[in-house]
Amino acid sequence: MGEEIHITEDEAALYDRQIRLWGLDAQRRLRAARVLLIGLKGLGAEIAKNIVLAGIKSLTLLDSTESTVEDSCSQFLISRNDVGRNRAEASLEQTQRLNPMVEVVADSQSPDQKSDEFFTQFDVVCATCCQQSTLLRINKICSHHKIKFFGGDVFGFYGFMFSDLGEHEYAEEVPKPKSKEDGEPAAKKAKKEETEMVTVKKSVTFSRLESALRIDWSSPNCQQKLKRTPSTFFIMQVLLDFIENNQRYPETQNKERDIELLLQQRSLTLDKLKLGSQKVVKEEFASFCFAELSPVCAIVGGVLGQEIIKAVSQRDPPHNNFFFYNGVEGSGLVDKISSL
C-alpha cells in the first residue's frame, strides 16, 4: 500500500461519515487495501459486506465449494436459485452491488491449490471455512511477507476470530494529560480536561496461530493461564481436529452419529493437549456444533470485519489475538493466547 491514494469527490461523499469518524488518512489506507477473503459461507458473507461497505480497494472471493440449501439460512449473498453453483461466483454479483467503487472478483479454486506467491499480492488475508493445516500454512506465509492475517469460523452456537498483524502500529485517542495548575476554578478545569483528547501512536506485537495451538498446558508455567483461558478455545480445537480428521464439518443430517464422533474427538484432543476433561466438561457442547447460525455469523463477522478495518486504517487498538463467541452462554471474550 505504498502508492499515493487520492479520494475522489464521489468517494468523499460516499464515505463522509467514515472520514469524519476516523479521518482522511485512515480512509486512504482503506482505499488502498487489497483483501483476500477465503470461504463464502455465512461468516464470509458477513465479512464481505462489512469491509466492502467500508471502502477497500479490492476484494477477491476465494471458494472452491458449491452452495447448498443450508446456505440460505445464513449466506445472504446467495439465493436459492444459486444452489449448486460455486459459492464465490454466486456471491460476486450481490457483493459488487454493495459498493460499485470496490473491485470484486471471484476465484473458484481451493486455497490449498494456490502457490505461496498467490497470497503475497494482498495486503490482508482473511481465511474462513479452512482446515487447521490450511490456516497454519497461510498464516506462516503472511507472517513471512508482513501481510495482515485473520482467521475465523462458526460452528453452530460457537465462533472464533484470530488475528496476526505482526508488528502493528496504530493511532489511538486518549485523554490529554492533566496540566499544571493555571489558576482556573477546579470544576471548570476538570470539565475541560475530560473532553479534551489527543491522538498518540502505539504499537503491539502479535504471534502466529501455531503458537496458540502448540501450548504445553501441562507445564507449571501454564497452570495459571489455563484457569483464565475460556472453554470455547478448547471447543474450537476439538472442532478443528474433527474437521481435519474427517475432512468435513459436523453434519445436521447425521447429528446423532457426529455427536458421538465429537465426544470421541474431545477425548483425543484434550489428551493431545495434556488436559483432563475439565476444560470441556459439559458433554452437551457436542449438540451445539452443527450448521451456521445466522446470529452467530453476524456477531463474529461483525467483529472480524471491524478488526480488518481497524488494522488497515491503523486506527484504535486491535484485538490481540483471539475473539471467542459462545452462543450457549451468550458471551463474547477477547483473549491473548500464545506460548511466547
Confidence of residue 17 (pLDDT cuts 50, 70, 90): confident
Strand partners of residue 110: none
pLDDT > 70 fraction of the chain, expressed in percent and rounded? 92
- pLDDT score for 274: 85
pLDDT tens track for 136-145: 999 999 999 9
Q: Which residues make Cβ contacts (< 8 Å) with residue 282, sequence separation at least 6?
A: none
CA–CA gap between residue 39 and residue 70 (Å, rounded): 15
- pLDDT score for 189: 59
Q: Which three cell numbers stand for residue 138?
A: 497461510
Residue 294's φ and ψ, nearest 5 degrees, are: -55, -45
CA–CA gap between residue 326 and residue 340 (Å, rounded): 26
CA–CA gap between residue 231 and residue 214 (Å, rounded): 16
Check whether the bond before 50 is cis (ω within 30° of 0): no
Is residue 181 pLDDT above 70, yes or no? no
Is residue 4 pLDDT above 70, yes or no? no
Torsion-angle region of 53 (φ positive above 0: left; ψ -120 to 50: alpha; else: beta): alpha
Q: What mean pLDDT comes out for the span 174-199?
A: 67
Is residue 190 pLDDT above 70, yes or no? no
Side-chain-side CA neighbours of residue 75 (13 Å): 26
For the chain, give every domain's residue range. Answer: 9-167+294-335, 170-205, 209-288
Q: Starting at the earlier edge strand, list the strands of the sheet with 124-128.
A: 103-107, 58-62, 34-38, 124-128, 148-155, 158-164, 322-326, 331-335
pLDDT tens track for 71-89: 878 899 998 899 999 999 9
CA–CA gap between residue 104 and residue 146 (Å, rounded): 23
Using alpha carbons, select from 121, 133, 131 the residue that is nearest to residue 59: 121
- pLDDT score for 221: 83
H or E element that contains 128:
strand 124-128
Task: Report whether 207 contacts 310 (CB < 8 A).
Answer: no
Is residue 191 pLDDT above 80, yes or no? no
pLDDT tens track for 221-264: 888 888 888 989 999 999 999 999 999 999 999 999 999 999 99
- pLDDT score for 180: 60
Q: What mean pLDDT comes out for the span 48-73?
A: 94
| 3-state secondary structure (DSSP) of residue 155 | strand
- The widest CA-to-CA distance across the chain, in whole angstroms, is 76
What is the overall mean pLDDT for the chain? 90
Task: Report whether 124 contacts 168 (CB < 8 A).
Answer: no
pLDDT tens track for 259-308: 999 999 999 998 898 887 666 656 788 999 999 999 999 999 999 999 99
Q: What mean pLDDT comes out for the span 50-67?
A: 96
- pLDDT score for 24: 83
- pLDDT score for 114: 98
Is residue 313 pLDDT above 90, yes or no? yes
Task: Name the CATH superfamily, with its identifier, for domain 9-167+294-335.
Answer: NAD(P)-binding Rossmann-like Domain (3.40.50.720)
CA–CA gap between residue 267 and residue 263 (Å, rounded): 7
Is residue 14 pLDDT above 90, yes or no? no
Residue 10's φ and ψ, nearest 5 degrees, are: -65, -40
The pTM assigned to this predicted structure is 0.91
If one counts every other C-beta atom within 10 angstroms of the C-beta of residue 4, the result is 6
Confidence of residue 193 (pLDDT cuts 50, 70, 90): low
Q: Which residues make Cβ contacts (< 8 Å) with residue 216, sequence separation at least 6?
A: 222, 274, 339
CA–CA gap between residue 9 and residue 111 (Å, rounded): 37
Q: What mean pLDDT comes out for the span 127-141?
A: 97
pLDDT tens track for 27-56: 899 999 999 999 999 999 999 999 999 999
Confidence of residue 184 (pLDDT cuts 50, 70, 90): low
